[in-house]
Structure 1
Amino acid sequence: MTTATPTPRPTSPLPPAAVEALSRLERALLPAAVVVAVTRYEVASERTAELSHLMDARDLSPAEFDALFDAQTVMAGARMTLAEAGRLDLIEVQS
């Protein structure tokens, strides 16, 4: 009996469509609290970046400063939730 030699198939890098499909599948299988924390972190991160850009251009108004503080507070809370779940990999760049 002969053993068939497996045909080599490239596995890396994955095509962008496959990466996105795997990401969608992973998100679908995550606990709801983790999904909410990632979403809150991403939205607050975008808001922080937007306000930081304004801060470079001029002084922030009191409302903008409060919004920046609130966004950073949301990011810290979401990060804590993800740390407790052991899923900081969802928001941090892996080295």
Structure 2
Amino acid sequence: LIRNLLAVTSQKNLALSRRIFHTSPKTIRGRLLSYLSAQALRENSRSFAIPFDRQQLADYLGVDRSALSAELGRMRTEGLIRFRKNEFELLREP
């Protein structure tokens, strides 16, 4: 019982630490790049799907959904990313 409790507590602590790491950049672009880069590393691929829709991603990163969508559009125009719904592809480094 104690081992299970410790495992659950550790996993929750790691998840919160990751979220703090992704929300520490000041700009929306910085937060997005931090999160998307971490997802790409986790999947070991430049193409990956995230477990969030736009509103959930905005809530996770602590930003407004419309500002998040606008920044995603700018990043697409600049050739940094390609996306469709919750599927992303990192094209190049910023």
Verify same fold: TM over 0.5. Answer: no
TM-score by length of 1: 0.30
Higher Cα Rg, which structure: 1
- Structure number with higher relative contact order (C-alpha < 8 Å, ≥ 6 residues apart): 1
